Amino acid sequence: MHLLIAGLVLFLGVHSISIVNYRWREAMVDKLGAGAWRALHSLFSVAGLVLIVYGFGRAREDPVVLYVAPIWVRDTMIMVMPLVFPMVFAAYFPGLISAVLKHPMLVGVKLWATLHLLVNGSVADVVLFGSVLAWAVVDRISFRWRPAHPIRTAPPWKWNDAIAILLGFAVYVALVAGGHQWITGLPIPFRHARPG
Protein backbone atom coordinates (compact mmCIF):
# COMPACT_ATOMS: atom_id res chain seq x y z
CA MET A 1 0.00 0.00 0.00
CA HIS A 2 2.86 2.38 0.74
CA LEU A 3 4.04 2.21 -2.89
CA LEU A 4 0.55 3.08 -4.11
CA ILE A 5 0.35 6.04 -1.74
CA ALA A 6 3.86 7.19 -2.71
CA GLY A 7 2.90 7.03 -6.37
CA LEU A 8 -0.28 9.01 -5.78
CA VAL A 9 1.58 11.65 -3.80
CA LEU A 10 4.15 11.99 -6.58
CA PHE A 11 1.74 11.88 -9.53
CA LEU A 12 -1.04 14.02 -8.06
CA GLY A 13 1.49 16.29 -6.37
CA VAL A 14 3.11 17.17 -9.68
CA HIS A 15 -0.33 17.82 -11.16
CA SER A 16 -1.29 20.00 -8.19
CA ILE A 17 1.49 22.58 -8.41
CA SER A 18 -0.72 25.01 -10.29
CA ILE A 19 -3.51 24.48 -7.77
CA VAL A 20 -1.29 25.26 -4.79
CA ASN A 21 0.89 28.00 -6.27
CA TYR A 22 0.47 28.74 -9.96
CA ARG A 23 2.71 31.84 -9.69
CA TRP A 24 5.62 29.66 -8.54
CA ARG A 25 4.96 27.35 -11.48
CA GLU A 26 5.06 30.27 -13.90
CA ALA A 27 8.29 31.49 -12.33
CA MET A 28 9.89 28.04 -12.72
CA VAL A 29 8.75 27.79 -16.33
CA ASP A 30 10.36 31.17 -17.03
CA LYS A 31 13.55 30.13 -15.22
CA LEU A 32 13.96 26.63 -16.69
CA GLY A 33 12.21 27.08 -20.00
CA ALA A 34 8.96 25.50 -21.11
CA GLY A 35 10.68 22.46 -22.63
CA ALA A 36 12.74 21.65 -19.53
CA TRP A 37 9.70 22.15 -17.30
CA ARG A 38 7.60 19.78 -19.42
CA ALA A 39 10.41 17.21 -19.37
CA LEU A 40 10.67 17.32 -15.56
CA HIS A 41 6.90 17.25 -15.22
CA SER A 42 6.68 14.21 -17.50
CA LEU A 43 9.53 12.42 -15.70
CA PHE A 44 7.92 12.77 -12.28
CA SER A 45 4.49 11.92 -13.71
CA VAL A 46 5.72 8.70 -15.29
CA ALA A 47 7.58 7.72 -12.11
CA GLY A 48 4.44 8.32 -10.08
CA LEU A 49 2.31 6.38 -12.54
CA VAL A 50 4.68 3.40 -12.44
CA LEU A 51 4.52 3.38 -8.63
CA ILE A 52 0.73 3.61 -8.74
CA VAL A 53 0.35 0.68 -11.13
CA TYR A 54 2.87 -1.51 -9.30
CA GLY A 55 1.69 -0.52 -5.84
CA PHE A 56 -1.96 -1.03 -6.76
CA GLY A 57 -1.20 -4.51 -8.06
CA ARG A 58 0.69 -5.41 -4.90
CA ALA A 59 -2.05 -4.04 -2.66
CA ARG A 60 -4.70 -6.12 -4.44
CA GLU A 61 -2.78 -9.34 -3.80
CA ASP A 62 -4.10 -9.28 -0.24
CA PRO A 63 -7.14 -7.01 -0.43
CA VAL A 64 -9.11 -5.64 2.50
CA VAL A 65 -12.67 -5.41 1.17
CA LEU A 66 -14.84 -2.59 2.51
CA TYR A 67 -17.89 -3.19 0.31
CA VAL A 68 -19.07 -5.28 -2.63
CA ALA A 69 -21.00 -3.58 -5.43
CA PRO A 70 -24.25 -5.19 -6.60
CA ILE A 71 -24.40 -6.53 -10.15
CA TRP A 72 -26.55 -3.66 -11.43
CA VAL A 73 -23.87 -1.17 -10.42
CA ARG A 74 -21.29 -3.12 -12.42
CA ASP A 75 -23.64 -3.27 -15.40
CA THR A 76 -24.19 0.48 -15.18
CA MET A 77 -20.45 1.05 -15.17
CA ILE A 78 -20.00 -1.01 -18.32
CA MET A 79 -22.67 1.05 -20.08
CA VAL A 80 -21.37 4.45 -18.94
CA MET A 81 -17.61 3.91 -19.28
CA PRO A 82 -17.59 4.33 -23.09
CA LEU A 83 -18.43 8.01 -22.49
CA VAL A 84 -15.22 8.65 -20.57
CA PHE A 85 -12.64 8.42 -23.33
CA PRO A 86 -14.36 10.68 -25.89
CA MET A 87 -14.45 13.33 -23.14
CA VAL A 88 -10.69 13.05 -22.69
CA PHE A 89 -10.02 13.31 -26.42
CA ALA A 90 -12.45 16.24 -26.70
CA ALA A 91 -9.95 18.28 -24.69
CA TYR A 92 -7.56 17.98 -27.66
CA PHE A 93 -10.18 18.19 -30.42
CA PRO A 94 -12.23 21.27 -29.54
CA GLY A 95 -15.85 21.16 -30.62
CA LEU A 96 -19.33 20.99 -29.17
CA ILE A 97 -18.31 18.47 -26.48
CA SER A 98 -15.57 20.69 -25.10
CA ALA A 99 -17.78 23.77 -25.37
CA VAL A 100 -20.54 22.15 -23.32
CA LEU A 101 -18.31 20.47 -20.71
CA LYS A 102 -15.83 23.40 -20.44
CA HIS A 103 -13.10 21.10 -19.08
CA PRO A 104 -13.92 17.75 -20.74
CA MET A 105 -10.79 15.95 -19.55
CA LEU A 106 -11.55 16.71 -15.91
CA VAL A 107 -15.17 15.64 -16.41
CA GLY A 108 -13.93 12.38 -17.91
CA VAL A 109 -11.47 11.80 -15.07
CA LYS A 110 -14.17 12.44 -12.46
CA LEU A 111 -16.58 10.08 -14.20
CA TRP A 112 -13.88 7.39 -14.53
CA ALA A 113 -12.91 7.66 -10.86
CA THR A 114 -16.51 7.71 -9.64
CA LEU A 115 -17.50 4.63 -11.64
CA HIS A 116 -14.45 2.69 -10.44
CA LEU A 117 -15.07 3.82 -6.86
CA LEU A 118 -18.65 2.58 -6.99
CA VAL A 119 -17.69 -0.81 -8.40
CA ASN A 120 -14.47 -1.59 -6.55
CA GLY A 121 -14.59 -1.71 -2.77
CA SER A 122 -11.18 -2.70 -1.45
CA VAL A 123 -9.04 -0.30 0.58
CA ALA A 124 -6.60 0.03 -2.34
CA ASP A 125 -9.47 0.89 -4.70
CA VAL A 126 -10.85 3.53 -2.36
CA VAL A 127 -7.41 5.07 -1.88
CA LEU A 128 -6.65 5.14 -5.61
CA PHE A 129 -9.97 6.18 -7.13
CA GLY A 130 -10.99 8.33 -4.17
CA SER A 131 -7.72 10.27 -4.39
CA VAL A 132 -8.06 10.82 -8.13
CA LEU A 133 -11.68 11.93 -7.76
CA ALA A 134 -10.82 14.34 -4.94
CA TRP A 135 -7.94 15.78 -6.96
CA ALA A 136 -10.14 16.28 -10.05
CA VAL A 137 -12.81 18.07 -8.00
CA VAL A 138 -10.25 20.36 -6.35
CA ASP A 139 -8.54 21.02 -9.68
CA ARG A 140 -11.84 22.08 -11.26
CA ILE A 141 -12.67 24.36 -8.33
CA SER A 142 -9.20 25.91 -8.49
CA PHE A 143 -10.01 27.56 -11.81
CA ARG A 144 -11.92 30.12 -9.76
CA TRP A 145 -8.63 31.61 -8.53
CA ARG A 146 -6.07 30.62 -11.14
CA PRO A 147 -5.86 30.77 -14.91
CA ALA A 148 -6.21 27.59 -16.91
CA HIS A 149 -3.07 26.54 -18.75
CA PRO A 150 -3.83 26.14 -22.44
CA ILE A 151 -2.93 22.81 -24.00
CA ARG A 152 -2.00 22.12 -27.58
CA THR A 153 -5.12 21.19 -29.47
CA ALA A 154 -6.14 20.46 -33.01
CA PRO A 155 -7.46 23.49 -34.91
CA PRO A 156 -11.23 24.03 -34.79
CA TRP A 157 -12.99 21.78 -37.30
CA LYS A 158 -16.55 20.59 -37.73
CA TRP A 159 -15.46 16.94 -37.44
CA ASN A 160 -13.49 17.29 -34.19
CA ASP A 161 -16.32 15.84 -32.09
CA ALA A 162 -16.56 12.83 -34.40
CA ILE A 163 -12.79 12.30 -34.16
CA ALA A 164 -12.91 12.49 -30.34
CA ILE A 165 -15.77 9.98 -30.23
CA LEU A 166 -14.09 7.55 -32.64
CA LEU A 167 -10.74 7.72 -30.83
CA GLY A 168 -12.48 7.35 -27.47
CA PHE A 169 -14.41 4.28 -28.51
CA ALA A 170 -11.26 2.82 -30.10
CA VAL A 171 -9.50 3.08 -26.73
CA TYR A 172 -12.48 1.51 -24.98
CA VAL A 173 -12.54 -1.40 -27.44
CA ALA A 174 -8.80 -1.91 -26.94
CA LEU A 175 -9.32 -2.06 -23.17
CA VAL A 176 -12.20 -4.52 -23.51
CA ALA A 177 -10.13 -6.65 -25.89
CA GLY A 178 -7.45 -7.17 -23.25
CA GLY A 179 -5.77 -3.83 -22.67
CA HIS A 180 -7.37 -3.36 -19.27
CA GLN A 181 -6.12 -6.73 -18.06
CA TRP A 182 -2.66 -6.12 -19.51
CA ILE A 183 -2.37 -2.77 -17.68
CA THR A 184 -4.01 -3.67 -14.38
CA GLY A 185 -3.94 -7.46 -14.28
CA LEU A 186 -7.73 -7.41 -13.93
CA PRO A 187 -10.36 -8.23 -16.55
CA ILE A 188 -13.22 -5.83 -17.16
CA PRO A 189 -16.02 -7.18 -14.93
CA PHE A 190 -18.77 -8.04 -17.41
CA ARG A 191 -21.73 -9.88 -15.96
CA HIS A 192 -20.34 -13.31 -16.88
CA ALA A 193 -16.98 -12.53 -15.27
CA ARG A 194 -16.28 -13.08 -11.62
CA PRO A 195 -16.09 -9.82 -9.67
CA GLY A 196 -12.52 -8.90 -8.89
The per-residue pLDDT for 195 is 41
What CA–CA distance (Å, rounded) separates 9 from 184? 19
pLDDT digits (tens, 9 = 90+) for 77-122: 888 999 999 999 999 999 999 999 999 999 999 999 999 999 999 9
pLDDT at residue 193 above 70? no
117, amino acid identity:
L
The three-state secondary structure class of 148 is coil
pTM of the full structure: 0.86
Residue 192 confidence class, pLDDT cut points 50, 70, 90: very low
Neighbour tally for 36: CB within 10 Å: 12
pLDDT at residue 191 above 60? no
pLDDT digits (tens, 9 = 90+) for 1-58: 899 999 999 999 999 998 998 889 889 989 999 899 999 999 999 999 999 999 998 9
